[in-house]
Amino acid sequence: MNWTLKGSLTLFVLLTIPPLKAQTSLQDSSKVYWYIELGDQKNAKNAIDSAEYYYQMAGDLAEKIGFDKGYLEFTGHYTGFLYRQARYQDALKVAERQLVVGQRSKDLTRTANAYNNMALQYQAMGNMQEAAKSLMKALDISHRSKDQVNQQKYYTNLGSLFIDLKDYKKAVRYAGKGHELAVSLKDTFKIGRSLINLMVAEILDEQLDQAEKHAKEAVLIGEKYQSNDLIMSAYCNLGDIYLRKKDYKTGLETLLRALPLLPNSPPDYQAYVYQGIANAYKYLGQYHEANQYFSKALNPGNEYLPRAEYSALLLSGSEIKEALGDYKDALNLRKQYELLNDSLLNENTQKNLHDLEIQYQTAEKELKLAQQQLEIDRRNKWIIYASSLVAVLIGLLIFSQKINRQKRKTMETLHRSNLLEAQLAGEEEERSRTARELHDGVASILSAAKLHLQPSTPIYSLVDHALQEVRNISHNMAAEVVGSEGLSYAVREFCQRVSHPLLNIEYIQVGELPKMNKGDELLLYRSIQEAVTNIVKHAQASEALVQIASDGTRMTVSIEDNGVGFDPDQLKKPGIGLKSLASRIHLLDGTYEVVSAPGNSTSVYIECSFEKDNIPA
């Protein structure tokens, strides 16, 4: 019995509010993520019909409002859902649509994930050639974009592919690379998932001690994160390890621990758990108990087990029936086993013959080409040598020039960054100095003036209003609250402070924000402050929304309003607002986008990556 997680379908969940359409409310894009979250919740509770309903609601709404990011998020979750239901053809269609949208939006991460999802469906349907092609495309994109997070997932899946190809040495190698990357990323949950494929490869390669060690680690991680899927996979594999070691009692005890988890698990786990328990009882000579669990495994096994696994189940059931003296059922199961096994052998034979034919034809072509090339080489040997030498010299010259240009470009970029950082630091110091002077000077004078005025007089109200304005200006210019209370508190307090009866500014935080140094927090706070200030001054809006979302390593910020909008081309002119936003985001190694049009709403998007301190268990 070989049990493996069916690939890794984990995708980045970036809860970013999309650009507002003219007829779209601020809540439409949030509803897409809300429906996805409801689908995940129902799926976790094994409420399959309800989960599918909410996933489809998310996809329909995302398509309706033209929200590509939301649609890509939906496809990532929905393909995983369909995959677990063994609806591979449906999942492949969704993954192909995911690829189209990812390429259209020029999102390399989502495009690579689409190829990965397609590979998983092809693999499940037995089309290993297409699975390998798609997975290699995903790996190529992740290497070019230096996306180690997804590289880890794709290496793990490549290990799973080599398991199906029965090349267990390579399976251990690639699954091991996926595990090493998960450890280097310090992502405990990814470590747990990568351990499943690694231990399966080790089991099949007969590295049982290593597999047992990794299975126990996976159980601990699954219990820590309360991941039913991870715990069940680990128990199934650990039970199989003990049965292979002929430690049948411990194997049975391990598999029995999985029984209470079945009601909250996908139905395919029933086949593996019941099959494992039936085998354990059979090896222990307790055939009545073995028959009880074999009967439970038969229906889910027929529906969910790969045909080779189901064939092994039929053979085991025949042996159990024979031991009980039920020769009629034993014979019937044996016949079913022989028919299925013959079918599998015929398929394998045909496949092997087809592969040999391709190899033979390829070898013939390669031989002819080699003979022709040898003849050409003999006639043109010195010409080829000379051409090769010239090509090498030209290549070295071009490479040297490129290296020098790249070095100069890097030095210039670094110099500009240092100048920009010094300029912003000077501005921040000047802000703090001015804020102190306003607070200690003007504010103190106004406070003293109030003491000499009657509260009922108009001049008293004017002085009091002026004092509040000075304090607000001082508070906005100084940013001590960012250092003392953190970014989220400072942004929330700022939004509350600048809101007024004609403009309500709402702040939302989604997920736990990553740890940042104080300089980065201040840069991000000033960027948000500048965008919100422009809403207050120019947007003529009645409603605005500031959202900060994080998936642990990547942070997204969206600032939106329902105001009059403007022509984004005006941002290129001097004197227009948001002028220092680009400088600050550049220092954060982030990206930003401003979406607006005269008469429509305005949206500002910022995306940055920060390292999260996530220590493995």
- Between 70 and 375, where is the model more confident? 70
Looking at the structure, do residues 116 and 168 belong to the same domain, yes or no?
Answer: no
DSSP structural state of residue 509: E
Greater model confidence, 235 or 483: 235
Q: How confident is the model at residue 385 (pLDDT cuts 50, 70, 90)?
A: low
Q: Is residue 314 part of a domain?
A: no
> Lowest-pLDDT range, 78-87, 333-342, 397-406, 574-583?
574-583
Higher pLDDT, 452 or 361: 452
Residue 372 pLDDT > 50: yes
Cα 474 to chain center, whole Å?
Answer: 42
CB 345 within 8 A of CB 337: no
Domain check: are 10 and 133 in the same one?
yes
Give the closest residue to 139 by CA, choosing from 99, 111, 105. 111
Same domain? For 67 and 169 the reply is no
Tell me how far apart the alpha carbons of residues 155 and 174 are, in angstroms, rounded to a whole number. Answer: 6
At 66, which amino acid appears? G
Residue 441 above 60 pLDDT?
A: no
Would you say residue 529 lies in a domain? Answer: yes
Inform me whether the pLDDT recorded for 312 exceeds 70.
Answer: yes
Per residue in 525-556, pLDDT (tens digit) is 888 888 888 888 888 899 999 999 888 778 88
76 domain residue, yes or no = yes
Residue 345 has pLDDT above 90, yes or no: no
- What pLDDT is recorded for position 186? 87
- At 14 the pLDDT is 31
- What does the alpha-carbon distance between residue 81 and residue 95 come to, in Å, rounded to a whole number? 12
Whether residue 571 is contained in a domain is answered as yes
Query: What is the structure's pLDDT at 464?
Result: 58
Q: Which of 146, 171, 204 is the last residue of a domain?
A: 146
Residue 421 lies in a domain: no
pLDDT band at 276 (very low <50, low <70, confident <90, very high): very high
Question: For residues 305 and 513, what is the distance between their CA atoms, to the nearest angstrom?
Answer: 41
Asked if residue 18 and residue 134 are part of one domain, the reply reads yes
307: CB partners within 8 A, 6+ apart: 340, 343, 344
Give the whole-angstrom CA distance, residue 558 versus residue 18: 8
User: Minimal CA–CA distance to 579: which of 539, 519, 531, 522?
Assistant: 531
Same domain, 23 and 142: yes
Helices (H) and strands (E) in the chain, counts: 22, 5
**One domain for residues 601 and 503:** yes
Give the E-state strand segments of 182-270 in sequence order: none
Answer with the one of 266, 295, 312 that is the final residue of a domain.
266
Do 215 and 259 fall into the same domain? yes
Percentage above 90 pLDDT, the chain = 18
Tell me the mean pLDDT in the region 411-434: 54
Residue 289's pLDDT band (cuts 50, 70, 90): very high
Tell me the CATH number at 214. 1.25.40.10
Going by pLDDT thresholds of 50, 70 and 90, the confidence category of residue 197 is: confident
How far apart CA 290 and CA 249 sit, in angstroms, is: 13
Distance CA 385, CA 219 (A): 60
Q: What is the mean pLDDT of the chain?
A: 78
135 & 191 share domain: no
For 405, the token pair is 């240009």
**What is the Cα–Cα distance from 342 to 311, expressed in whole angstroms?**
10
DSSP three-state, residue 181: helix
Please tell me which residue, 522 or 321, carries the higher pLDDT value.
321
CB 1 within 8 A of CB 200: no
Q: Based on the fold, state whether residues 16 and 114 are members of the same structural domain.
A: yes
The verdict on 62 and 127 lying in the same domain is yes
Q: Please give the pLDDT value at position 525.
A: 84
323-340 tens-digit pLDDT: 999 888 888 988 888 888
Query: CATH number, domain at 538?
Result: 3.30.565.10
For residue 11, the model assigns a pLDDT of 32
Indicate the pLDDT class of residue 608, thresholds 50, 70 and 90.
confident
User: Would you say residue 176 lies in a domain?
Assistant: yes
Q: How confident is the model at residue 144 (pLDDT cuts 50, 70, 90)?
A: confident
Q: How many domains does the chain have?
A: 3
pLDDT at 591 over 70: yes
Tokens 């025949």, located at residue: 318
Residue 515 structural domain: 486-609
Calculate mean pLDDT across residues 71-99. Answer: 89
Of the residues 115, 146, 177, the one at which a domain ends: 146
Query: Is the residue at 211 inside a domain?
Result: yes
Q: Which structure tokens are listed for 117? A: 């999802």
Q: How confident is the model at residue 190 (pLDDT cuts 50, 70, 90)?
A: confident
pLDDT at 292: 94
Helix boundaries (H) for 452-579: 458-477, 480-485, 487-498, 518-534
508 and 567, same domain (yes or no)? yes
- Residues 511, 603, single domain; the answer is yes
Residue 459 placed within a domain: no
Supply the pLDDT for residue 146.
Answer: 85
Edge-to-edge strand order for the sheet containing 554-561? 504-510, 543-550, 554-561, 602-609, 591-595
The strand pair at 504-510 and 554-561 is best described as: unpaired
Give whichever of 172-186, 243-257, 457-471, 475-489 has the largest mean pLDDT: 243-257
pLDDT of residue 584: 79
| Residues 182, 202: Cα–Cα separation, whole Å | 18
